[in-house]
């Protein structure tokens, strides 16, 4: 069974450009990132296939989980560990057919009802956010930390916090019960991605990963 816990690093087409993304992801994993998600809302599956294959291989070599954002066909085709979907993305049942043994994560924004329903329909984890003001999605729905606490009481699957998470406020999410913290800007904009990943990862060291 794959353990869904720790720093969840999400790539960004601007902050992790193609020419440096492999090195940046390697630094993140070396610093303790447990999960890497390839997120690109602009390119086609065909355009992303080569990069996705390389990232998948790198993650497997470094014992990290590799996820693809909203592209279950691509994820299945390259042997990714799973796919993450939002409310306007592929339906969870369709994703499950394409990835029968894969990890399916679902964005639940600020809705515990959606999370309960997604767990019932087979999601492997749910994500809530934005927990804090997000530079990546400034207009994102706000989700209180109390929602994470509520979810941990009602759900059996892992909970991920996302949105504006930094090493300074991530402890609030972890203390609220978040099994994972998903990070974009705060990680990739750091002077040292490896050291920044270590700062996040230390928050989970009290539990044996």
pLDDT in tens, 89-103: 899 999 999 999 999
Q: Is residue 1 part of a domain?
A: no
Q: What's the CA gap between 99 and 9, in Å, rounded? A: 21
- Residue 200 CB coordination number (10 Å): 26
Q: Is residue 60 part of a domain?
A: yes
pLDDT of residue 209: 38
pLDDT of residue 89: 87
Q: Is 189 a catalytic residue?
A: no
Q: Which tokens go with 13?
A: 């087409």
Structural domain for 59, as ranges: 6-204
Count of the separate structural domains present in the chain: 1
Q: Is 87 a catalytic residue?
A: no
Q: Mind listing the pLDDT tens digit for each residue in 44-73?
A: 999 999 999 999 999 999 999 999 999 999
Q: Is residue 209 part of a domain?
A: no
Q: Is residue 175 part of a domain?
A: yes
pLDDT of residue 135: 78
CATH number for position 58: 3.20.20.70
Q: Is residue 154 part of a domain?
A: yes
26, 34, 96, 107: which is the annotated catalytic residue? Answer: 107
Q: What are the φ and ψ backbone dihedral angles of 125, each rounded to 5 degrees?
A: -160, 160
Q: What's the CA gap between 109 and 159, in Å, rounded? A: 12
SS3 105: strand
Q: Looking up tokens 């999605």, which residue turns up?
A: 137
Residues 6+ apart with CB under 8 A from 37: 8, 9, 10, 11, 66, 67, 68, 69, 84, 182
Q: Is residue 43 part of a domain?
A: yes
Q: Is residue 114 part of a domain?
A: yes
Is 110 in contact with 128 (CB distance < 8 Å)?
Answer: yes
60, 114, 137, 152: which is the annotated catalytic residue? Answer: 137
Q: What's the CA gap between 80 and 133, in Å, rounded? A: 30
Q: Is 134 a catalytic residue?
A: no
Closest to 143 (Cα-Cα) out of 133, 135, 153: 133
Residue 206's pLDDT band, with cuts at 50, 70 and 90, is low
Asked if residue 130 has pLDDT above 60, the reply is yes
Asked if residue 113 has pLDDT above 50, the reply is yes
Q: Is residue 131 part of a domain?
A: yes
């Amino acid at each position: 069974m794959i353990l869904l816990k720790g720093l969840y690093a999400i790539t960004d087409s601007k902050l992790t450009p193609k020419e440096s993304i492999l090195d940046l992801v390697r630094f993140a994993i070396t610093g303790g990132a447990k999960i890497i998600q390839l997120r690109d809302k602009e390119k086609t599956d065909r355009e992303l296939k080569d990069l996705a294959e390389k990232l998948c291989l790198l993650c497997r070599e470094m014992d990290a989980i590799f996820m693809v954002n909203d592209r279950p066909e691509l994820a299945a085709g390259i042997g990714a560990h799973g796919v993450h979907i939002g409310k306007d993305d592929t339906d969870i049942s369709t994703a499950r057919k394409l990835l029968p043994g894969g990890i399916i994560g679902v964005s639940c924004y600020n809705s515990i009802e959606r999370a309960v329903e997604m767990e019932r329909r087979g999601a492997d984890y749910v994500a809530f956010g934005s927990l804090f003001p997000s530079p990546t999605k400034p207009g994102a729905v706000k989700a209180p930390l109390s929602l994470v606490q509520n979810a941990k009481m009602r759900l059996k699957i892992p909970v991920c916090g996302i949105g504006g998470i930094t090493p300074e406020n991530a402890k609030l999410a972890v203390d609220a019960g978040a099994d994972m913290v998903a990070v974009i800007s705060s990680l990739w904009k750091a002077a040292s991605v490896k050291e920044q990943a270590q700062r996040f990862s230390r928050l989970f060291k009290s539990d044996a990963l």
